[in-house]
Amino acid sequence: GLLKHYEAINPFISSTTDSLNRLKPGFEAPVCIVTSLGTDPSEPSRNRTILCGLIRDIDNPMATRYELRSPNPYTNTYTALALIFISAFDGMKYAITSGKTQAQLEA
């Protein structure tokens, strides 16, 4: 859901000229709407140009989380969290109602 709706969410997360100038090649900031899961659980991705990265702990699977890399100090935290939750819930609703298997959703 987050990757699907990010173009609509971005103006609220990156609302200043400086924050938009940062989102281009040459900075350690996201330049495209993609995610990275890493090559395997023991070797996470170090790609800093992704929008959303998966962070895993091999010893504790309950500590798995994702990192959204586009917010900056000017982002309104409450608005950003509300938009992230709504888009995540939309993605969960799609996963439940689409009838696709987990492998099809991950592809």
Domain boundaries of the chain, sorted by first residue: 2-106
Does 50 or 38 have the greater pLDDT score?
50
* Stated pTM of the model: 0.71
Confidence of residue 78 (pLDDT cuts 50, 70, 90): very high
pLDDT value, residue 89 = 93
Number of alpha carbons in the 13 Å side-chain half-sphere of residue 24: 6
Contact predicate 97/35, CB 8 Å:
no
Cα–Cα dist 79/67, whole Å:
17
Q: Is the pLDDT of residue 61 over 90?
A: no
